[in-house]
């Protein structure tokens, strides 16, 4: 599933009039690719996730998934947010199967459960199957949220800052969980983040958006290693890349002011 | 241990309350036409135990039926107002205004519209008095649902109805039960308003009125205590239901 965003402009209606957030944004994400989108805050990154998932329509331009224009939500998309938004009245396993209740109505409960359990094992939470979300830590909740976003085997996974609220070590654990999921499952991924190390570590392509209204400012491949390890982040090659990205963010921020 | 405490502690506070009441009456040397003491109540209750049984049941079932209907009315309005901003801003002034009217003044109006239909009159007053908290809590709960919750299902192509019964409704249940507890106590006010103001010769309200006419003050107090006990009983039924349906929201 490759994704093409073609000359997309988008604006919101506010009390002060129209607020343009995206302007002539074009980018393409290759099949099974992992693209991180970074940029100054408020530059319209989350708008991109809502556009790609079909929740809103762009004011101008179009978005294609596998050459098919998106006009409404597709059941082949999975989403996870900074807030894990778990349903507190459902236990872990029932939270994870929620998407299947919408897109695979004919599946039996046991099938749904076994799908969910496979993912739960991948993220290392199999013994928490019957716990309520209130009994889990922040990092565990986010793992469950990732499982839920993948349970219906989506072709596109959209992550909107899912690790932003976690402490540094939990975050790095979750990055490795993400690597594992990406290796085991077949999906194209878009990650919105403010963390440049996260972007470089997880994605094979990093895109820097300019300040509002956002357009493409910088696009870089990050395949510095076949199998990325946390220690790679401290190599001179990666430091160089991070410095370049940091610089690009500054340029984007100045445009915002 | 927790279970026993849940029973022992309220019982203990009840006994202390009755002792203080008894002491207050005894210390001031009040005659029982000024203020009856707990020790006067049991004889009064025992003397009219058959009436308490008959009238108590009448009050009880009409309150419960009225409460169930007010849940339905409150839910319907709440759901409409939670989902449509237009309906919400359109209905709020009417509902608030309506709720601000003292219900005692509505009693004669209702009684005139449905002359002779005692049960229906009473139940209507119960609905009018207790649907409002439910309606407000449901509409607020639904209209403040975080966008991400909707997005999870919307991005999969779910319809409004699926979002409602899979997420919005269960998420509002704790607020609903909070409101239902308020409504439960209000419901008894509704039943008794009708029974006391309009002489239907039914319910504990009527027994209270008879006590007033015959200056039997211990009887009047006994009626009040019976109403309190019924209110507590119904309240704990709601708590029980809350534990079943919204137990996840209760901190252990």
Q: What residues of B are in contact with residue A81 (Cβ under 8 Å)? A: 148, 151
Taking only residues 168 to 187 of chain B, the set having a beta carbon closer than 8 angstroms to any beta carbon of chain A reads 170-171, 173
Q: Which of A35, A14, A22, A15 shows the shortest CA–CA distance to A221?
A: A35
pLDDT of A123 reads: 87
Q: Residues A24-80: pLDDT tens digits?
A: 888 888 888 889 998 877 777 888 888 888 888 888 888 888 888 888 888 888 989
Q: How big is the A-B interface in CB pairs under 8 Å?
A: 58
- The secondary structure of residue A159, as a DSSP letter, is E
B155/A55 Cβ within 8 A:
yes
Is the Cβ pair B155, A102 closer than 8 Å?
no
Closest-CA distance, B178 to chain A, in angstroms, reads: 17
Tell me whether B244 touches chain A (CB under 8 Å): no
**pLDDT at position A61:** 86
Average pLDDT of chain A is: 85
B154 CB within 8 Å of a chain A CB: yes
CB–CB of B200/B206 below 8 Å?
Answer: yes
Q: Is the pLDDT of residue A255 over 70?
A: no
- The token duo for A75 is 């059941």
- Indicate whether this complex's ipTM tops 0.85: no
Give CA–CA dist B236/B241, Å, rounded: 9
Residue from A46, A49, A73, A155 whose CB has the most chain B CBs within 10 Å, to mutate: A73
Rounded-to-integer distance, Cα A43 and Cα A49, Å: 13
Q: Does the pLDDT of residue A150 top 60, yes or no? A: yes
pLDDT digits (tens, 9 = 90+) for B109-154: 888 888 778 888 889 999 999 999 999 999 998 888 888 888 888 8
Interface residue of A71, A72, A89, A133 to substitute, partner B, most B CBs within 10 Å: A89
Which phi-psi region, left, alpha or beta, contains residue B215 (left: φ > 0; alpha: ψ -120 to 50)? left
Distance from CA of A131 to the nearest CA of B (A): 11
- Other Cβ atoms less than 10 A from the Cβ of A135: the count is 12
Spell out which residues of chain A touch residue B147, defining contact as CB-CB under 8 Å: none
Question: Greatest CA separation found in chain A?
Answer: 55
Q: Where are the beta strands (DSSP E) in chain A?
A: 3-14, 17-29, 34-38, 60-65, 68-69, 77-81, 156-160, 188-192, 205-209, 216-221
CA distance B223 to chain A (A): 41
Q: B62: cis peptide before it, omega within 30°?
A: no
pLDDT band at A186 (very low <50, low <70, confident <90, very high): confident
Closest residue in chain B to residue A79, using alpha carbons only: B152
Neighbour order of strands in the sheet with A216-221: A77-81, A156-160, A188-192, A34-38, A205-209, A216-221
Rounded Cα–Cα distance for residues A32 and B66 (Å): 60
Closest approach of A8 to chain B, Cα-based (Å): 20
- How far apart are alpha carbons B223 and B59 in whole angstroms? 11
Tokens at residue A209, please?
A: 């958006």
B157–A103 CB contact, under 8 Å = yes
Strand partners, A158: A79, A190
Q: Report strand pairing: A60-65 vs A68-69.
A: antiparallel
Considering only CA atoms, which of A141, A146, A195, A192 is closest in space to residue A168? Answer: A195
Q: How far is A54 from chain B (nearest CA, A)?
A: 7
| CB within 8 Å: B151 and A152 | no
Query: Could you tell me if A241 and A222 are in contact, meaning their C-beta atoms sit under 8 angstroms apart?
Result: yes
Chain B residue with minimum CA distance to A160? B148
Q: Which of B151, B156, B163 would best serve as a mutation to test chain A binding (most A beta carbons within 10 A)?
A: B156
Question: How many other C-beta atoms can be found within 10 angstroms of the C-beta atom of residue A241?
Answer: 20
* Parts of chain B with a pLDDT under 70: 1-2, 251-252
Closest among A14, A12, A101 to A50, alpha carbons compared: A12
Asked whether the beta carbons of residue B151 and residue A53 sit closer than 8 angstroms, the reply is: yes
DSSP B64-87: HHHHHHHHHHHHHHHHHHHH-HHH
Q: Phi first, then psi: what are they for A213, rounded to 5°?
A: -70, 135
* Residue A96 · residue A114 · CB < 8 Å: no
Distance from the Cα of B169 to chain A's closest Cα (Å) equals 11
């Amino acid at each position: 599933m490759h994704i093409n965003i073609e000359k997309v402009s988008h604006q919101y209606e506010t009390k002060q009039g129209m607020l343009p957030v995206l302007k002539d944004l074009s980018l393409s994400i290759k099949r099974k690719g992992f693209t991180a989108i970074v940029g100054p805050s408020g530059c319209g990154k989350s708008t991109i996730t809502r556009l790609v998932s079909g929740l809103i329509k762009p004011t101008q331009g179009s978005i294609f998934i596998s050459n098919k224009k998106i006009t409404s939500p597709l059941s082949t998309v999975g989403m996870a947010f900074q807030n894990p938004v778990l349903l507190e009245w459902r236990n872990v396993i029932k939270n994870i199967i929620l998407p299947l209740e919408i897109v695979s109505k004919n599946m039996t409960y046991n099938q749904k459960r076994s799908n969910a359990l496979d993912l739960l094992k991948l993220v290392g939470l199999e013994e928490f199957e019957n716990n309520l979300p209130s009994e889990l830590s922040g990092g565990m909740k986010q793992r469950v949220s990732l499982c839920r976003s993948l349970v219906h085997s989506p072709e596109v996974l959209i992550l909107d800052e899912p690790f932003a609220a976690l402490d540094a070590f939990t975050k790095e654990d979750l990055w490795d969980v993400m690597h594992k999921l990406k290796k085991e499952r077949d999906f194209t991924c878009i990650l919105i983040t403010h963390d440049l190390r996260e972007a470089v570590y997880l994605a094979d392509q990093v895109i820097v958006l300019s300040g509002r209204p956002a357009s493409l400012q910088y696009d870089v491949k990050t395949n510095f290693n076949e199998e990325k390890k946390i220690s790679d982040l401290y190599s001179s090659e990666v430091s160089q890349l991070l410095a370049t990205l940091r610089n690009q963010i500054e340029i984007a921020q100045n445009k915002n002011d | 241990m927790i279970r026993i405490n849940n029973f022992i502690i309220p019982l203990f506070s009840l006994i202390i309350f009755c002792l203080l009441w008894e002491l207050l009456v005894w210390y001031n040397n009040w005659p029982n036409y000024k203020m009856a003491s707990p020790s006067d109540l049991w004889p009064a209750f025992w003397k009219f135990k058959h009436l308490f049984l008959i009238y108590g049941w009448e009050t009880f079932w009409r309150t419960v039926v009225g409460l169930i209907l007010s849940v339905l009315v409150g839910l319907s309005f709440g759901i409409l107002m939670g989902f449509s901003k237009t309906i919400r801003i359109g209905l709020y002034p009417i509902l608030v205004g309506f709720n601000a009217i003292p219900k005692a003044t509505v009693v004669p109006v209702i009684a005139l519209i449905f002359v002779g239909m005692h049960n229906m009159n009473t139940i209507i007053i119960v609905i009018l008095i207790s649907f409002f908290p439910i309606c407000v809590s449901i509409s607020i709960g639904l209209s403040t649902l975080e966008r991400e919750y909707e997005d999870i299902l919307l991005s999969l192509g779910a319809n409004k109805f699926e979002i409602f019964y899979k997420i919005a409704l269960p998420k509002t249940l704790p607020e609903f039960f909070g409101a239902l507890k308020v409504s439960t106590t209000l419901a008894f006010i509704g039943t008794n308003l009708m029974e006391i103001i309009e002489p239907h010769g039914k319910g504990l309200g009527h027994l209270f009125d008879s006590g007033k006419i015959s200056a039997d003050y211990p009887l009047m107090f006994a009626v009040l205590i019976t109403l309190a006990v019924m209110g507590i009983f119904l309240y704990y039924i709601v708590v029980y239901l809350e534990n079943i349906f919204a137990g996840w929201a209760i901190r252990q």
